[in-house]
Amino acid sequence: MAKKSMGGWAFLIGVIVAILVGLFGSLNTLWVGLLVVLGLIVGLLNIEKRESSGYLLAALSLVIVSAFGKNVLNTITVLGNVLDAIMALVVPSVVVVALKAVYRSAKG
């Protein structure tokens, strides 16, 4: 399986898991751990140098909207749970991609 393909599948599976956990379950340590691992796989394998800026901008937007959206939508618990689960997936990938971008910038 190609590296890029594996990262793409990790992202798709992560989004599906995040939505299902948010809708039907609770975000416990097991689910957070799974989503974090999938997010790390996405960040390590799926996002290449030329995609970094776009990914970081989109992910930053998602993180900001999720953080503020959860505060606005706090009366609808399920939506807050879905947003929390998506953040458990996206944040680790953003950290990896951002660190890779900083490293590339620092090494010249």
Predicted local distance difference test score (pLDDT) of residue 3: 62
Helices (H) and strands (E) in the chain, counts: 4, 0
Determine contact, residues 85/22, Cβ cutoff 8 Å: yes
What distance in Å separates the CA atoms of residue 57 and residue 66, rounded to the nearest whole number?
14
pLDDT, residue 31, reads 94
One digit per residue, pLDDT tens: the chain, 108 residues? 566 677 788 889 999 999 999 888 888 999 999 999 999 998 888 777 888 889 899 988 988 888 777 777 767 788 888 888 999 999 999 999 999 989 988 886
Task: Measure the CA angle with vertex 100, ends 96 and 102; round to 5°.
Answer: 115
CA distance 17 to 35: 8
DSSP structure string for 13-59: HHHHHHHHHHHHS---HHHHHHHHHHHHHHHHHT--GGGHHHHHHHH
Q: Is 22 exposed, middle or buried (0-12, 13-18, 19+ CB in 10 A)?
A: buried
